[in-house]
Structures are given as structure tokens and as C-alpha cells.
Structure 1
Amino acid sequence: MLKFTFLAFFAFYAASSSFAVKLRYTDCGSSADVHSITLEPCSQDPCVIHQQQNYTAHISFTPKANHDKAYNFATGIIFGSPQPFAVSPKDACGNGVHCPLQAGLIQTYTASVLSPITDPKRVAAKWEVKDENDQDIICFVFPVVIVWNKF
């Protein structure tokens, strides 16, 4: 009976916990070395995301050059058409990133994205961190599946 209770508790805890998965991604022009990217809550790759839910990315990278500023951009590429997603905060400085960015200094930062309201579909999500000259410091694309809200 004790074993059953433990397993039931573990199953409940696992189901209710926030999961993060290391994403498989395609680099689309990063000038920095990207070490790892996780997205939470996400328990599988590709990540299944629910409309109007916040998702948090944790990105570890090393800039190859100095940058005074850094800004977040997220885009969903749906049937070849880019659609911007709301990112918070827009300024990538802070949340673990120390600006000005110094070449060779490992940075890990956190930013959140609100999943858009859209019909369920598979989407190529594009994440960019651009500098003060609108040049990509980080750029990667990864697949997500957008589904209806869970109620």
C-alpha cells in the first residue's frame, strides 16, 4: 500500500510540475556561440504549446563580440508567413544578461513568450536576440505545435 501511495504521489507531482526540455534547433545566423536552449513548460520535442500560455526560454551563450544592447524578438513562421509573438521583456539586458555584453563571457538569460491565439498547427518558431545595430547575436528556429487552450 505504501508503494502504491508513493507511486500515486510521484505521478501526481510529475503531472503537475513544470517541465523543461532541451530544444533541438537550427541556427539561423547567430554571431554568438549558443550552448543550450530550454523551454518550459515543455515536456517533449517538438514542444506542444497552448494558446495564451506563457512559455519561458533559458538560453546559454557566449558572445564573440562586444554589444552595448540586446533585444528579444520572437516570430512564428506559419505557412511561410512570419507573425510576431509578444516577448517580455523586450530588452534582453537583465534577467541574467549583463550589458554591455562582453566577448568571451558566458551568459544565460531568461525571457518569456505568450503563445498566440491561432488555429492549432505546427509552427516554426524563430527566436532572435539583436544588438543595437539590428544584427543577430542569437538566432535559432525550432518546431512547436500550437494547440487549443487546455481547460
Structure 2
Amino acid sequence: MRGAIMGYYLKILLAICAIHELTGGVIRSTTDAAYKKYLALKSLPFEDCGSLYQVNYLQIESCTTLPCSMARNATIKVTVRFDDNGNGVTFLKHEVNWVFNYIRTDAEITPDPCDGDHGCIESASDGKSYWANIFVDESLPVMRGSMLWESKDATDQNLICFQVPVVITV
């Protein structure tokens, strides 16, 4: 009789543990999804142009509305938060272009590449983030266009790609 009661309590305990694990995972994934939704709402709008990883958040210093106003001869910090699917991204090579009337001009980015030597990639509980500075060259035309940003891994695979409307000012 005592063994049967112990078996009964053991089954209840196992059921409670199983429910806890199931709901813990659901709560955790629901919390992650809610946080990513919050980041997306706070993000500067952008057009994804074929990212392998989901970009959850984009911030361009001093830019709150589109098109982003960027003054010539300025250095502007760009911060991106993305979900690397647990792959542990530690290296990003940037290929950034200014696009005006379908003509592409290379942009100067620092640090490039973004790796462990520069502290520009950071791990977060919900993925990764990186920052880089873009220089707005004084030779750029004063007009509307876009900034096309691609971040690639060491094998030149395109991991992150987004495009943002900009207007270059004096």
C-alpha cells in the first residue's frame, strides 16, 4: 500500500514538473516574442533586402523620421539588433552604399570589419547587436536617395541587408 501511494505521488510530481517545463518554455518564448515586437515598434522603419537573419531593431543616430537627414562631413552611429539563430556571429564585414538616382557610391564605415578586436558586436539574451559609424562624405550630392547596408560573414555570405531612405544636407 505504501509503495502504491509513493508511486501515485511520484506520478503527480512528474506531471507537475512536465507542466512546469512546458509552461516555462511557453512563457519564455512568449516573453521573447513580446520583446522582439517591442523592439520592432521602437525601430526606425527600414526595407529588408534579403537578410538571412531577422533584423529586430535599427537605430541611426539623430534620425527619428524618414528620410533620415544626414549632414555632409558628419559621422553617424548605426546600431542594429538581430537574431542570429544561436549561430554565435562574431564577424561582420560591411558593404554600404549611398544610392542616388540608381548610382551607387561606396560609404566609409568604421570599424570594418566588425569583430572581437573592436567590441562592436555584442551578445544579448535575444540575439546579437552591432554598431558601426558611417561617414557622410562632403562630396555626396545634396539630394534624396537611400543608404543600402549589407553585413556579410567571413565567407562573404550576406547575413543582414537593409535599405533606408536618406536626404543629404549641407
TM-score tier after normalising by the smaller chain length: 0.7 to 0.9
List alignment gaps of at least 5 residues for structure 1. 1-20
Partner SS state of residue 82, structure 1: strand
Partner SS state of residue 58, structure 2: strand
Whole-Å separation in 1 of the counterparts to 2:132 and 2:69? 18
Which entry has the higher C-alpha Rg, 1 or 2? 2
Partner AA of 2:121 in structure 1: V
Q: Which has the higher contact order (CA 8 A, sep 6+)?
A: 1
Whole-Å separation in 1 of the counterparts to 2:108 and 2:53? 23
Aligned counterpart in structure 2 of residue 97 of structure 1, from 121, 132, 149: 121
Partner AA of 1:24 in structure 2: P
Aligned length: 124
Shifted more, 40-49 versus 136-145: the winner is 40-49
Partner AA of 2:169 in structure 1: V
Whole-Å separation in 2 of the counterparts to 1:125 and 1:63? 23
Matched, 1:143 2:165: yes
Whole-Å separation in 2 of the counterparts to 1:91 and 1:124? 22
Corresponding residue of 1:15: none
List per-residue Cα deviations over 1:70-118 (Å, max 9, x = no partner): 21221111111111100000112243415xx9xx961111110001222
TM-score by length of 1: 0.73
Aligned counterpart in structure 2 of residue 79 of structure 1, from 101, 105, 114: 101
Whole-Å separation in 2 of the counterparts to 1:83 and 1:61? 26
List alignment gaps of at least 5 residues for structure 2. 1-41
TM-score by length of 2: 0.66
Whole-Å separation in 1 of the counterparts to 2:151 and 2:126? 16
Aligned counterpart in structure 2 of residue 55 of structure 1, from 51, 76, 93: 76
Q: Percent identity?
A: 23
Whole-Å separation in 1 of the counterparts to 2:109 and 2:76? 10
Partner SS state of residue 112, structure 2: coil
Shifted more, 89-98 versus 70-79: the winner is 89-98
Q: How does 1:98-113 map to 2 (within 5 A)?
A: 106-113=127-134
The structure with the greater share of residues assigned to helix is: 2
Q: What's the offset of the Cα at 1:45?
A: 2.0
Whole-Å separation in 2 of the counterparts to 1:70 and 1:86? 15
Partner SS state of residue 168, structure 2: strand
